């Protein structure tokens, strides 16, 4: 009897184990079905979906498979957000067929036809020079700058000029209403041929563009448009990247010249991932103070021209007006210069420009002297001060030193070293440089003056504006000789 009871209990336990196994398998099937129906899944070739999410930095767009406290790219803290990763399922046959029809075959350089791409003039000689000679069809240009610098005013003036010449131009206003755009156009005295499109859904914008033949497209701004298939909010790093990629693909495919207006962060960088500047062809940035009268537009990247080209605008009630000769703007009108002022012949892009470097040296009231540089490289200023102390004998260790470039233009090239050193020595000794003096040259650690590029063009520009006394590596061997010659 006891043996029978044991076999019966063993059989019942096997039945319970089988039932538990079936229940566990059923629960797994239910959970799998829920994951497949949930957004943010990745489907393989067999149709089985696996849940997957990625984490991205809201500051720079860096992606990681797990959450990180600090971004390894931009070093921002607590900036990672989670978003689902969606990849549509496709069979192997569909993918291989698409690859056969869309992938081009490699072509030798000698077999590619040489075509001269005609450029589109914008009506502004200086702005065309910054772009490399005009607008290239199919190019994508990013225009950035602080609030109030004139980004929207510039692109609206360009749009009105192109439309007046008979081109089809669409202005996508994501930040303003069409009535506000019209009021600004009337205030600037522009025509009414520009097509204004008040829409932020980029998919709807592209669908409308496909039904038209558009010469130029202006998106103001890239941080306001969004794609429905990109699961993030407008203005995020993911949306900015995906929208820019879609616009670049449209521009290259149709030949439509595209201008994107970009916001800037509190640090002065263009908002969005760093990839944004790599995707576009040209990056233009407004420098200087937005509250002043003059605006400086600099090319930081240009695939169709030289970088560091500048265009100087004067902001008036009628809009932005180009300054034909920036050298006259950056130089003070007074001929008798005080101590601590020196004219530097600089090269910005492909053009020579004369700027005024000012320095002020005073005794320090604290234990550690202050060294401040405005529109100059701070590390470069520290090196110049060390050379002046060691090689020339100027006792600057107990003095505060301030150096600045007048006019708001930023100068970072090494050719400005000699002018900065002369301005500091002039302020330290309280002796003014000659009124007709200009300087350029790189300063070495041993005090020698090194040659720089485009020296004849620098000298020619200085003499054309009346600066006949030139301090350069061609006239002086070292910094001590240049200071003795300039200050006595």
For residue range 10-30, list pLDDT tens digits in order.
455 555 545 555 555 555 555
Q: How confident is the model at residue 234 (pLDDT cuts 50, 70, 90)?
A: confident
Mean pLDDT of the chain: 83
**pLDDT exceeds cutoff 60 at 99:** no
Identify the burial level of 369 via C-beta atoms within 10 angstroms of its C-beta, where 0-12 means exposed, 13-18 middle and 19 or more buried: middle
pLDDT tens-digit readout, 41-54 = 444 444 444 456 77
Helix 202-210 with 237-254: angle, nearest 10 deg: 10
Task: Identify which has the larger pLDDT, 263 or 95.
Answer: 263
Whether residue 347 contacts residue 372, with contact meaning beta carbons closer than 8 Å, is answered with no
**pLDDT exceeds cutoff 70 at 264:** yes
**Per-residue pLDDT at 324:** 84
Q: How confident is the model at residue 96 (pLDDT cuts 50, 70, 90)?
A: very low
**Per-residue pLDDT at 63:** 77
Average pLDDT over residues 442-459: 94
Task: Please name each of the domains of the chain with its CATH number.
Answer: 35-90 (no CATH), 125-324 (3.40.50.300), 328-487 (3.30.230.10)
Using alpha carbons, select from 99, 62, 109, 94 the residue that is nearest to residue 81. 62
Average pLDDT over residues 98-123: 76
Average pLDDT over residues 312-326: 87
Task: Identify which has the larger pLDDT, 375 or 96.
Answer: 375
Give this prediction's pTM.
Answer: 0.74
**Percent share of the chain, pLDDT over 70:** 81
Q: How confident is the model at residue 282 (pLDDT cuts 50, 70, 90)?
A: very high
Q: How confident is the model at residue 335 (pLDDT cuts 50, 70, 90)?
A: low
**Per-residue pLDDT at 93:** 42
pLDDT tens-digit readout, 134-188 = 999 999 999 998 888 899 999 999 999 999 999 999 999 999 999 999 999 999 9
SS (H, E, C) the chain: CHHHHHHHHHHHHHHHHHHHHHHHHHHHHHHHHHHHHCCCEEECCCCCEEECEEEEECCCCCEECCCCCECCCCCCECCEEEEECCECCCCHHHHHHHHHHHCCCCCCHHHCCCCCCCCECCCCHHHHHHHCCCECCCCEEEEECCCCCCHHHHHHHHHHHHHHCCCCEEEEECCCCHHHHHHHHHHHCCCCCCEEECCCEHHHHHHHHHCCCCCEEEEECCCCCECCCCCCCCCCHHHHHHHHHHHHHHHHHHCCEEEEEECECCCCCECCCCHHHHHCCEEEEEECCCCCCEEEEEEEEECCCCCCCEEEEEEECCEEEECCCHHHHHCCCCCCCCCCEEEEEEEECCEEEEEEEEEEEEECCCCCCCEEEECCCHHHHHHHHHHHHHHHCCCCCCEEEEEEECCCCCCCCHHHHHHHHHHHHHHHHCCCCCCCEEECCEECCCCEEECCCCHHHHHHHHHHCCCCEEECCCCCCEHHHHHHHHHC
pLDDT tens-digit readout, 212-230 = 999 999 999 898 999 998 8
**pLDDT exceeds cutoff 90 at 85:** no
Average pLDDT over residues 349-375: 90
**Per-residue pLDDT at 317:** 85
């Amino acid at each position: 009897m006891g043996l029978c009871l044991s076999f019966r209990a063993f059989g019942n336990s096997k039945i319970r184990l089988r039932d538990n196994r079936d229940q566990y398998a059923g629960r797994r099937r239910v959970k799998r079905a829920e994951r497949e129906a949930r957004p943010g899944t990745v489907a393989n070739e067999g149709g089985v979906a696996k849940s997957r999410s990625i984490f991205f930095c809201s500051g720079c767009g860096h992606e990681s498979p797990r959450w990180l406290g600090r971004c390894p790219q931009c070093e921002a803290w607590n900036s990672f957000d989670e978003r689902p990763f969606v990849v549509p399922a496709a069979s192997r046959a569909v993918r291989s067929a698409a690859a056969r029809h869309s992938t081009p075959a490699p072509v030798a350089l000698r077999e590619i036809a040489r075509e001269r791409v005609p450029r589109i003039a914008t009506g502004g000689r200086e702005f065309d020079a910054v772009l490399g000679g005009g607008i290239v069809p199919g190019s994508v240009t990013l225009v950035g700058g602080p609030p109030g610098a004139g980004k929207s005013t510039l692109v609206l003036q360009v749009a009105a000029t192109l439309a007046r010449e008979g081109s089809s131009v669409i202005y996508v206003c994501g930040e303003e209403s069409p009535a506000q755009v019209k009021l600004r156009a009337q205030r600037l005295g522009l025509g009414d041929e520009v097509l204004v499109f008040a829409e932020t859904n980029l998919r709807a914008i592209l669908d409308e563009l496909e039904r038209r033949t558009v010469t130029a497209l202006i998106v103001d701004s890239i941080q306001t448009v969004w794609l429905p298939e990109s699961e993030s909010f407008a203005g995020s790093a993911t949306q900015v990247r995906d929208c820019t990629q879609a616009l670049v693909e449209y521009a290259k495919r149709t030949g439509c010249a595209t201008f994107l207006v970009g916001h800037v962060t509190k640090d002065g960088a263009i908002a969005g991932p760093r990839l944004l500047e790599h995707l576009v062809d040209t990056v233009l940035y407004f420098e200087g103070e937005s509250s002043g009268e003059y605006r400086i537009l600099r090319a930081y990247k240009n695939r169709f021209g030289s970088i560091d080209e500048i265009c100087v605008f004067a902001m008036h009630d009628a809009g932005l007006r180009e300054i034909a000769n920036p050298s006259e703007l950056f130089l003070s009108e007074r001929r008798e210069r005080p101590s601590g002022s020196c004219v530097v012949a600089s090269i910005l892009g492909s053009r020579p420009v004369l700027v005024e470097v000012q320095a002020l040296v005073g005794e320090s009231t604290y234990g550690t002297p202050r060294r401040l540089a405005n529109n100059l490289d701070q590390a470069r200023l520290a090196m110049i001060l060390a050379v002046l102390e060691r090689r020339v004998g100027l006792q600057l260790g107990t003095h505060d030193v301030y150096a600045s470039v007048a006019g708001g233009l930023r100068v970072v090239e090494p050719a400005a070293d000699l002018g900065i050193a002369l301005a500091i020595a002039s302020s330290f000794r309280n002796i003014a440089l000659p009124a007709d003096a200009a300087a350029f040259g790189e300063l070495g650690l041993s005090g020698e003056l090194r040659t720089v590029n485009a020296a004849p063009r620098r000298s020619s520009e200085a003499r054309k504006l009346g600066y006949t006394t030139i301090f350069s590596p061609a006239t002086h061997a070292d910094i001590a000789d240049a200071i003795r010659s300039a200050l006595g």
